[in-house]
Amino acid sequence: MIGLVNKVIPGDRMNPMLELLQLLAVVLMGIQLGVSYAHFMQMPGKLELPLDCYILVQNDVIRYRVKLGLIEVPAIISALAAALLLRKHRKVFWLTILGAACMVALWVVWAIFIQPINQQVDNWSPAFVPENWMELRYQWHFYHLIRLWIAAFGVVALTLSLMMEKTRPAS
């Protein structure tokens, strides 16, 4: 992988752990982008579902909510660890920090806006829903659309950081 992803000065060898951390950050952020894109693609159909079908899909079909934490936490850690190793490479460092910030922003949007809606929907039944259930359903999709844009921006930043030339910093 050395030399394939990064252009380096002949005789200068990048840290393989750094490259692994950067690649891991890109892949894990890409998975988050994929999940957000899936929500975007499902949106038109799910917004048309009648209440009973919507509750079934949200509560019984979609069961991966907590499992995404298994992706988000390592993604943030790998990006921050890569940034730490890249602190002397200004452009690459800041792109990596930007990617990590996008990962944190994804989590914040989920924790503040999406998860409270998830918790409400978990208690719904066709006989018992709040009057504003359609508004909550729209908000849930809207916040996932915001996550899609954040994830796309993060993937671009992390990919650029992976592709940029990393030479030995001047002493």
Mean pLDDT of 97-126: 92
**pLDDT (tens digit per residue) in 15-28:** 888 889 999 999 99
Residue matched to tokens 């992976």: 162
In a domain, 2, yes or no: no
Q: What is the pLDDT of residue 168?
A: 57
The domain tally of the chain equals 1
Reply yes or no on whether the pLDDT at 4 is more than 70.
no
Q: What is the pLDDT of residue 55?
A: 86
Residue matched to tokens 């200004």: 90
**pLDDT (tens digit per residue) in 31-74:** 999 989 998 999 999 899 998 888 888 877 666 566 666 888 89
Tell me which residue range forms the domain holding 63.
16-163
Mean pLDDT of 113-139: 91
Those residues whose C-beta lies under 8 Å from the C-beta of residue 1, and which sit 6 or more positions away, are 16, 19, 23
Write the DSSP assignment of 57-92 as a string of letters: IIIII---TGGGHHHHHHHHHHHHHHHHHTTTSHHH
Mean pLDDT of 88-115: 94
> CA nearest 161: which of 4, 8, 23, 10?
23
In a domain, 54, yes or no: yes
Distance CA 118, CA 110 (A): 10
